[in-house]
Amino acid sequence: MSLKIDQDHSRFRHIVKGKVRENLKKYVSNGELIGRKGKDIVTIPLPQIDIPRFRYGEKQQGGVGQGDGKPGDPVGGDPGDQPGQGKKAGEGGGEHSLDVDLTLDELADILSEELALPDIEDKGKSKIISAKDRYTGIRRVGPESLRHFRRTYREALKRQISVGSYDPSRPVVVPVPDDRRFRSWKTEPEPVANAVIIYMMDVSGSMGDEQKEIVRIESFWLDTWLKRQYKGIESRYIIHDANAKEVDEHTFFHTRESGGTMISSAYKVCADMIEANYPPSEWNIYPFHFSDGDNWSMDDTLQSVDILKKRILPYVNMFAYGQVDSPYGSGQFIKDLREQFKADDRVVLSEIRDRDAIMQSIKDFLGKGK
């Protein structure tokens, strides 16, 4: 059955994609494609167009909430949503994005659906498939050790109430065998594969906070996706300006140097790392490099290409280079790479203009299923 809403819906999609009504595009808040890893709570990317109205700034207004806690404790959500306004009443107020409980696995599913990502084809390095049990349902028979206490209790309570043997003043509930419920499981095959992601980032003076934030968001999603695909994934981090060094995750995202840029230095460290720790027969290797593309000299670029060709590409699943737009960089490096590796599909290049382009870039990187 075709729905009346289809027309309005496709019109909305067009606006979001910027095909019509360019003037509205600026109100598209992209429900940021980023999650807070904390308690596995993530924000789902649903684009939203706000109709501007005379209204108060949210931060000034505050609101009223309900629950435990003492003054100074944080409050979840957005109190700007007033109790007086809600979707159910018809015309709701501005709801921005949906904050929901999702596990990272589910998140990766959604991501793959949104971006139509293919599953990664294993290079045939590790064909061992192990089985894993997941508890997914409830059934009436099973071993005692898997008895689901709450469901059993509930069944017993229902039965007692319906036959009238339940006495609220003496609430004793005695299950009979028929009431018992057990967890049931499904066995799912799970490929055992080892993978390492090597993140490299240019931290030279021309990379600003916004550029780093883009890298952070993007690497979060790459991590999420690859973790879904591989068990036992490792992440390594390398930062470079004119020199490169390996750092931990926190340092990676919070360092700001000011020197020049020698990309070859990072590739050298990366190649050494692969040689020392990750024999390609056992590992799926994913180097990702982010930079603003402003390399020191052509010499260094040629040297980088040389290292890539000889010491990195033969060993890795793919090499990904993401170039973020910066007001300072010339952005030359991606052009050089493009020229050098035109025919090589192990090298994936992507330009990331701004936050909105992150999704497309993830698609560039992961869309080939390598």
Partner 1 sequence: MNEFALKTQLPSYLRTEQDRIRKVAEEYGLDFFPTVFEMLSYDQMNEIAAYGGFPNRYPHWRFGMEYEHLAKSYEYGLSKIYEMVINNNPSVAYLLEGNSLTDQRMVMAHVYGHVDFFKNNFCFRTTDLDQGGKTVDPAQRPATYDPNRRWIDKMANHGTRIRRHASRWGTTKVGEFIDHCLSLENLVDPHAAFRGKGPKEVAAEDEENPETMDVPRLKSKDYMESFINPQEYLDEQRRKIVAEREKSKKFPRERERDVLGFLLEHAPLERWERDCLEVIREEALYFLPQMQTKIMNEGWATYWHSRLLTERILDASEIIDYADNAAGVLATSGGRLNPYKLGVELLRDVEERWDKGQFGKEWEDCDDLDAKRNWNLRLGLGRKKIFEVRSLYNDLTFLDEFLTPEFCARHKLFAIQWSNKADRFEIETREFKKVKEKLLFQLTNSGNPFIFVDDANHENRGELRLVHEHDGLDLKVDYAREVLRSLQRIWKRPVLIRTVVDHKPTILRYDGREHAQAAAPAESKEKGK
- 366, 115 in Cβ contact below 8 A? yes
Element (H, E) at 251: helix 249-254
If binding is defined by CB under 8 A, does position 5 make contact with partner 1? yes
Looking at the Cβ atoms of 91 and 339, the one nearer to partner 1 is 91
**How far apart are CB 137 and partner 1 at their closest, in Å?**
15
If binding is defined by CB under 8 A, does position 11 make contact with partner 1? yes
Looking at the Cβ atoms of 151 and 335, the one nearer to partner 1 is 151
The CB-based long-range contact list for 12-20 (8 Å cut-off, 24+ gap) reads 12/49, 15/49, 16/47, 16/49
**How far apart are CB 256 and partner 1 at their closest, in Å?**
20
**How far apart are CB 22 and partner 1 at their closest, in Å?**
11
Ranges within 161-180 binding partner 1 (CB under 8 A):
161-162, 164
Ranges within 141-160 binding partner 1 (CB under 8 A):
154, 157-158
Ranges within 23-52 binding partner 1 (CB under 8 A):
23-24, 44, 46-49, 51-52
CA-closest candidate to residue 47, choices 101, 87, 98: 98
- 313, 340 in Cβ contact below 8 A? no
If binding is defined by CB under 8 A, does position 131 make contact with partner 1? no
Site string for partner 1, 54-93 (x = CB under 8 A): xxxxxxxxxxxxxxxxxxxxxxxxxx-xxxxxxxxxxx-x
- 285, 292 in Cβ contact below 8 A? no
Instruction: Kindly report the backbone phi and psi dihedral angles of residue 319, in degrees, each rounded to the nearest multiple of 5, phi listed first.
Output: -120, 125
Looking at the Cβ atoms of 39 and 342, the one nearer to partner 1 is 39
Looking at the Cβ atoms of 89 and 116, the one nearer to partner 1 is 89
**How far apart are CB 98 and partner 1 at their closest, in Å?**
6
Distance CA(55)–CA(28), nearest Å, equals 18
CA dist 291 → 1, 15, 212, 319 (Å) = 49, 31, 9, 14
